[in-house]
Structure 1
Amino acid sequence: MALFALGINHTTADISVREKVAFAPSEMEAALLDAQEHNIVEEISILSTCNRTEIYFECQQEADRIVDWISTYKSVEPEQLNGVTYSYAGADAVRHMMKVASGLDSMVLGEPQILGQIKSCYAVAKEAGSLGGVLHDAFQRVFSVAKRVRSETAIGENPVSVAYAAVSLARQIFSDLKQDTALLIGAGETIELVARHLVEQGIKKIIVANRTLENARELAAQFSAEAILLADIPSFLHQADIVIASTASQLPILGKGAVEQALKARKHKPMFMLDIAVPRDIEAQVDELADVFLYTVDDLKEVIDENKRSREQAAQIAHEIIEESIVQYERDLRAFSAVNAIKAFRQNMESLSSSELEKALKNLNRGAEAEEVLQQLARGLTNKFMHLPSAQVKKASADGRQDIVRSFQHIFDLDVVNPDQTESE
C-alpha cells in the first residue's frame, strides 16, 4: 500500500490539454466515488485549478492505472497525456504536496490561494468518504508545513498572484485605468482579488457578471460595482475596456460574435481581455479580432517571472522547512512499521499474564498465603516473559549473530561487559 501524487500542470502542458482534464466542483464527488468503485484506488482526493489537476491517492496496484482512469473518465485520448503527467510516491508525494500547498510549485511563486484550494480538495474528499488514514495524515502534515512557511518566511509578502499579474498586464495595455471600465465575469475568490487590485489602481467602473445574480450583487457591493447576469453580458460588453473572466463553466461564455458586435458599438476602440479560467471562458477565435488583446492564464508567465526573483530567498527557507518535515515523516513511517510487532508482543505478554494471574487466584481461593502467592506470581511472570527472548538470543549468539545480541542489549538498556572485553583487559 503506497501514497501517490499524479498530475498535470502549467509547466508540463498548455491550456488546451489542461482544460480537458479539469474537474468542475459539481462533478468532483462523483469522480472520487467512480475511482473507488472501479477499484482503481483505496483512498483519493482531486485538486483541480486553472494551473493544475492533481490526484492524491493510495493504492496497492500500479499507479499508472490512474492515468487510464483519467483518460476514460474525461474522454481524453491516452496519447494526449503521454509525456505531460508526473507522479511521485511515498515521501516524494508528500514533499510535492507540501511544495504545492506552500506556493512553491505555482506559476506565481508563493501565491496564497492554492492553500485554500488544497483545503477544499481535502474537505470535498472527506465529505465524499474517499479519505482514509493515509491521506488524512498526509494532508494534516501538508497544512502544518504550509502554515509554517507562511508565518516563518516572507514568501507571501508583496501582492503577487494571478489576480495581481492580471491587473499588471492590463496596465501594460492601458497605462492609466482611471478612465476605464472593467467587466469581471465570475464571482469567485480570484475575481474578488482582481476587483480589489483594480480598485487600488483607481479603475473608473466595475461590472460583475455571474450566473447567480445574488452572488454578483454580493461581490459588487464590496466595490461599488454594478451586478448583472451572464445572459446580460451582450448588452453591457461594449462598455468594457477590460474583460477578465474566471468561472467554473465547462463551456465558453463569451463568443466571437458577441465581441464583434461590442467592437462595432465601441467604434473599434481596443479591448483588453484576459481569460484565466480552465476550461476557457472566452472562445479562442476572439483572438482573431484586430481590436482585441486576448490573453490566457499562460500569458501571465512573463509578468509573474519578475516577481519570482524577489521571493527566491524566502523559497529557499521554505524548502528547508519542507525537508525538515519530510525527515520527520519518514521517521514516523519507520516507527509505524513496528506498530504491528509491538501489538503482537503486547498480546503475547497479556496472554502470559492472564495465565499466571489465573493460577494465583486459584491458589488464593484454596487458602494459600497471599505473600507466597504473590512471590509465585512474580517468579512465574519473570520466567514466562524471559523464556522465549532468552532462548532466541542464546541461539543468535551461538549462530554468530552478534548484531541480534547487541540489539537485545540496546532494546532492554543492558549495561553488559562482553567476555572477550574482560579477557583483553
Structure 2
Amino acid sequence: MKLVVVGINHKDTPLEIREKGAFIHRTLNEGIQRLLKEDDIAEVIILSTCNRSEIYVSTRNQDAAGEILVEFYLNEKSAELAPYLFLKKERDAMVHLYEVVTGLDSMILGEDQILGQVKDALEKSQAINGCGKYLTKMFREAITFTKKVKTEYKISETPLSLSSTAVKYIKRKYPDDYGDKKILIIGSGKMGILALRYMKAEGFQNPFMTNRTFHNMHECQAIHENVQMIHYENRYQVIPQMDVIITATASPHVILKAEEMKPLTKPLTIIDLALPRDVEEAVGDLPMVELLTIDHFKDIMDEKMAYRMKVAKKIALEIQHEIDGLLAWITHAKVDNMVRDLNETSRHLAEETIENLCGHLNLNEKEELYLSKVIRSKFREMVMPPIKQLKSLDNEAEIIGIEKTVTYLFPRINEKVIVGEQKNDDTSAV
C-alpha cells in the first residue's frame, strides 16, 4: 500500500475557501463511505479542522487515487478549491502527516490542539471501518512520535492554540482591567472548554457560556467556579452586556446574524474561531463591533516563538529518520504478506489435491491419512525455497519485482489481491 493525501490548508487558502472544503460529522462519515467504494482506495481518514481539510488514503495506485481525491473535492465540495488543492504521495505524504501532527504545519507553530484532532480523525474513521492496518499504523506512529518530541523538546510547554491565543489577545487588548471584562463563550466543545481553561488560568473573573445543548455543564463549572450559563435562545439579549464574545461551535450555519444583533452602548470584540464561521460577516460592519476570525491570528507571535522555530528544525530532521523507519516497516510487511500468501496458496492447493485423489481412489482410512501427510509435506517443500529467499530480501525495488513475479507464477495470490475477501482485510497487504 501507498499513502496519498489531498487537501487544503491555511498556508495559501483564504478562509472563505477553506469553509467550502470543511467537513462536519455527517459529511465526514459520508465522505469516507463514498470514497471506500472506489476500487483504487482501500482506506480513508479525513482530517477537517479550522485550518485544514485533508483526506488521507491508502492505495495500490497512487496516481488514480490522487485523481479520485481531487475530483471528490471539486465535485462534492466546490470547484473553487481547484487552485488551492495540494497532492502529496508516499514519502512526501508521510512527512506532511508528521508535520501536521507535531504542529510544524500549523498556523501557530507547535500548537497543542491538532494532536487531539488527529486522534479524533483516526477514531472516527475506525468507528465506521474506514481504515485498516496501514493508515492506523501511519497515524499511530505519528501520534506516538509527536508525544515523544513534545516531551523531549517541550515545544508546547506553554499552552498554545487558537483558544489560548484568543485569550492572550483579550488580555493584551485590556491590560489594566481584563480580569473584570464580561466574556461570553458560545460553544462548549473542545475549543470552548479550552478557552474557559485559559481564562481561568489567566485570571478572568466573569466568564459566561452558552451552547445549543449543555451536556457538559458540570465540567464547565468545575473548570471555572464563576462561569454563568446562558440559555442559547437568549444569546442576543445578553450580548450588549458583554465586552468580548468567543464563538467556537461545530454548527454548519451562522449562529450570529447582523439583523438579529441588538444596539450596543459599548465596544464589543467578537472572536470567531469556528470553521465554517459562526458569525455573519456583516456583523463586523455594525457600530462598535470588532470582528476577528482565525486568519487574524496568523501574525500573532507568542513569547517563545523563536525557541519553537529552533526546535522545529530539529524535529523536522527527526521526522525524516522516522519516515525511514516506516518505509522499512512497509518493505518488510510486503515480504510478510507474500510469505503468508504463499503458505495459504500451498495449503489450499494441497487440500484440493487431497480431496480430488481421495475422491477417485478407493483408500482406507490409514491410506488416506498417509497420502494427505505426503501431499501436504510436498506442497510445503515446494514453497519453502522462495520463502527463504523472500525473507533474505531488504531492498524495496527487489521486493516489488519479486512480488510481481510471485503473483504471476501463483495466479491464486494475484486473484486474491485483486478481488479481496473483504476490502478492509486487503489493507493489511501493505
Higher alpha-carbon Rg:
1
Runs of at least 5 residues in structure 2 that lack an aligned partner in the other structure: 354-365, 368-373, 390-430
Identical residues among aligned pairs (%): 29
Task: Return the alpha-carbon distance in structure 2 between the equivalents of residues 388 and 318 of structure 1.
Answer: 43
Following superposition, the deviation at residue 118 of structure 1 comes to 0.7
Please, what TM-score do these two structures have when normalized by structure 2? Answer: 0.76
Q: Map 1:185-224 onto structure 2 (within 5 A).
A: 185-216=186-217, 218-223=219-224, 224=226
Q: Tell me: CA distance 1:241–1:87, structure 2 relative to 1, closer, same or farther (3 Å).
A: same
Following superposition, the deviation at residue 20 of structure 1 comes to 1.1
Runs of at least 5 residues in structure 1 that lack an aligned partner in the other structure: 356-364, 367-376, 393-425
Alignment partner, residue 45 of structure 2:
45
Task: Return the alpha-carbon distance in structure 2 between the equivalents of residues 347 and 130 of structure 1.
Answer: 26
- SS of equivalent to 1:302: coil
Alignment partner, residue 303 of structure 1:
300
Instruction: Indicate conservation of the 8 Å contact 2:153/2:311, yes or no.
Output: yes
- SS of equivalent to 2:298: helix
Matching residue within 329, 335, 339 for 1:338: 335
Task: Return the alpha-carbon distance in structure 2 between the equivalents of residues 101 and 208 of structure 1.
Answer: 30
2:13 maps to 1:3: no
- SS of equivalent to 1:45: strand
Q: Map 1:321-360 onto structure 2 (within 5 A).
A: 321-343=318-340
Instruction: Indicate conservation of the 8 Å contact 1:40/1:66, yes or no.
Output: no
2:67 maps to 1:64: yes
- SS of equivalent to 2:270: strand
- Aligned-partner residue type, residue 292 of structure 1: V
Q: Tell me: CA distance 1:262–1:179, structure 2 relative to 1, closer, same or farther (3 Å).
A: farther
Q: Tell me: CA distance 1:226–1:348, structure 2 relative to 1, closer, same or farther (3 Å).
A: closer
Task: Return the alpha-carbon distance in structure 2 between the equivalents of residues 340 and 217 of structure 1.
Answer: 50
- SS of equivalent to 1:63: helix
Q: CA RMSD in A?
A: 3.2
- Aligned-partner residue type, residue 329 of structure 2: D
Task: Return the alpha-carbon distance in structure 2 between the equivalents of residues 18 and 344 of structure 1.
Answer: 44
Instruction: Indicate conservation of the 8 Å contact 2:41/2:57, yes or no.
Output: yes
- Aligned-partner residue type, residue 195 of structure 2: V
Q: Map 1:8-47 onto structure 2 (within 5 A).
A: 8-37=8-37, 39=39, 41-47=41-47
Matching residue within 308, 312, 317 for 1:320: 317
Task: Return the alpha-carbon distance in structure 1 between the equivalents of residues 252 and 345 of structure 2.
Answer: 59
Instruction: Indicate conservation of the 8 Å contact 1:217/1:227, yes or no.
Output: no
Shifted more, 232-241 versus 26-35: the winner is 26-35
Task: Return the alpha-carbon distance in structure 1 between the equivalents of residues 139 and 97 of structure 2.
Answer: 8
2:251 maps to 1:256: no
Task: Return the alpha-carbon distance in structure 2 between the equivalents of residues 225 and 291 of structure 1.
Answer: 25
Instruction: Indicate conservation of the 8 Å contact 1:220/1:227, yes or no.
Output: no
Following superposition, the deviation at residue 42 of structure 1 comes to 2.0
- Aligned-partner residue type, residue 5 of structure 2: A
Q: Map 1:249-288 onto structure 2 (within 5 A).
A: 249-259=251-261, 261-263=262-264, 267=265, 269-288=266-285
Task: Return the alpha-carbon distance in structure 1 between the equivalents of residues 304 and 7 of structure 2.
Answer: 25
Instruction: Indicate conservation of the 8 Å contact 2:45/2:56, yes or no.
Output: yes
Following superposition, the deviation at residue 136 of structure 1 comes to 1.7
1:381-412: per-residue Cα shift (whole Å, max 9, x none)?
Answer: 9xx88x989xx9xxxxxxxxxxxxxxxxxxxx
- Aligned-partner residue type, residue 7 of structure 1: G
Following superposition, the deviation at residue 285 of structure 1 comes to 0.6
1:303-352: per-residue Cα shift (whole Å, max 9, x none)?
Answer: 1466432312221222222111111112222223333554577689999x
Alignment partner, residue 76 of structure 2:
73
Following superposition, the deviation at residue 35 of structure 1 comes to 1.9
2:158 maps to 1:163: no
The number of residues matched between the two structures is 361
Q: Map 1:386-401 onto structure 2 (within 5 A).
A: none
Instruction: Indicate conservation of the 8 Å contact 2:188/2:214, yes or no.
Output: no
Task: Return the alpha-carbon distance in structure 2 between the equivalents of residues 235 and 331 of structure 1.
Answer: 61
Instruction: Indicate conservation of the 8 Å contact 2:43/2:57, yes or no.
Output: yes
Task: Return the alpha-carbon distance in structure 1 between the equivalents of residues 128 and 347 of structure 2.
Answer: 40
- Aligned-partner residue type, residue 236 of structure 1: V
Instruction: Indicate conservation of the 8 Å contact 2:243/2:269, yes or no.
Output: yes
1:74-96: per-residue Cα shift (whole Å, max 9, x none)?
Answer: 3x1x2x11221112111221221
Alignment partner, residue 428 of structure 2:
none
1:341-390: per-residue Cα shift (whole Å, max 9, x none)?
Answer: 54577689999x999xxxxxxxxx99xxxxxxxxxx9xx99xx88x989x
- SS of equivalent to 1:293: strand
- SS of equivalent to 1:338: helix
Q: Tell me: CA distance 1:296–1:344, structure 2 relative to 1, closer, same or farther (3 Å).
A: closer
